[in-house]
Amino acid sequence: MASVRIKNLTNTTAAIKKKFLEIKQDQGLLLEIAEVSIENFQGFARSGKNPSTGQMFPKLSKGWVGYRHHLLKTNKESSFFLGADSTKSNLTFTGNLLNSIKAKIDSSKGRVSFYAKGTHPGYGDGKPKQSNQEIVDDLATRGFEFMVVGEKLKKRINVLVKRFIRKTLTR
């Protein structure tokens, strides 16, 4: 039986681990993942679908549809708003909530986390203002979870990461 002795395997392994740690912590890659993810969250919300299941969000109640008619008197709706009579929810009445989505990048851990920044301006209906994150959390408890990394986004991120690895390792 023939055998081969590999020298300096420890050094090679250490160099590979170091390179992959650099890739995992690359600010540019993490920023691209953040941007793609936010676009994905907004896109799914505007389409009225839950990103983790692909299912449509629950239909709006007749009471909420009627309330939107009242709110349109004093609020400017976003360009993605489907109209006051629509029972399809796409979280775009004014667009403020979807525009508030931000990413926090921790390159030391190779982590991107998402949150809704700021306070929602409200609709001039006398209700107390809430933080955008409180609204996101409340929507999630009612079946309107949209800041979720679903299968489509996972695949898209995998493509980004593989492309980045190839590019980095061929330098």
pLDDT digits (tens, 9 = 90+) for 62-101: 888 888 888 888 877 777 777 777 888 878 777 888 889 9
Q: 129 pLDDT band (50/70/90 cuts)?
A: confident
Q: 116 pLDDT band (50/70/90 cuts)?
A: very high
Question: What number is the average pLDDT over the span 155-171?
Answer: 91
- State the DSSP H helix or E strand holding residue 111, giving kind and residue range, or none if neither: strand 111-116
CA distances from 118 to 71, 97, 137, 147 (A): 21, 9, 14, 16
Question: What number is the average pLDDT over the span 15-31?
Answer: 90
Question: What number is the average pLDDT over the span 154-163?
Answer: 95
Instruction: Of 134, 138, 133, 136, give the one whose Cα is nearest residue 117.
Output: 133
